[in-house]
Amino acid sequence: MAILTKMCVLTSVLRSRIWTLKKCHPLPSTFLPTKHFSTTLVARDTSNGPWLSATPRVCLHDVPTILRAGGLKPNAPVTLTADLLDENGKQFCSHAHYISDAEGDVDVTLAPSVGGSYKGVFPAGLLTTLAPAPHEFPLLRLYRRDPQLPWKITVKVVEGHQPLGSQQEAVSEVHLERHLMGRGVRRVPLREGRVRATLFLPPGPGPFPGVIDMFGTAGGLMEFRAAMMASRGIATMALAYFAFEDLPKTTERFDLEYFAEAAELLMSQEGVVPDRCGIVGVSKAADIAFTLATWMAEVKAVVSISGSPVAYDSIITYQGKTILEGFKMDMSVLRLDEHGRLYPLREMIQLLTPDHPKFIPINLADDDTYFLVVGGDDDAWSCDVPVHSVRERMEMFGRTEKLETKVYPGAGHILEPPYGALIHHSYHRHLPVVGGEDGSERVTGVPILWGGQPAEHCAVQEDLWPRMRNFLMKHIRDESPWYQQHKIN
Task: Give me Rg for the CA atoms of the chain.
Answer: 23
Give the list of residues 6+ apart from residue 43 with CB closer than 8 angstroms, or none.
Answer: 52, 53, 54, 57, 174, 175
CB-based contact 384:312 (threshold 8 Å): no
Please name every residue paired with 80 in a beta bridge, in sequence order, or none if there are none: 96, 157
Distance CA 480, CA 300 (A): 9
Nearest to 135 by CA among 176, 67, 83, 173: 83
CB-based contact 43:54 (threshold 8 Å): yes
CB-based contact 436:403 (threshold 8 Å): no
Q: Is 426 a catalytic residue?
A: no
Give the list of residues 6+ apart from residue 88 with CB closer than 8 angstroms, or none.
Answer: none
Of 283, 304, 308, 480, catalytic: 283
Helices (H) and strands (E) in the chain, counts: 9, 26
Of 413, 428, 457, 475, catalytic: 413
User: Cα separations (Å) of 358 from 310, 315, 354, 355?
Assistant: 6, 11, 9, 8
Distance CA 267, CA 274 (A): 5
User: Cα separations (Å) of 391 from 206, 302, 355?
Assistant: 34, 14, 12
- Which 8-state DSSP code applies to residue 163? P
Helices (H), 247-343: 256-267, 284-295
Q: Is 413 a catalytic residue?
A: yes
Q: Cα angle vertex 476, ends 474, 478, to 5°?
A: 45
CB-based contact 447:329 (threshold 8 Å): no
Q: Is 172 a catalytic residue?
A: no
Distance CA 321, CA 324 (A): 9
Of 313, 378, 379, 384, catalytic: 378
Active-site positions? Answer: 283, 378, 413
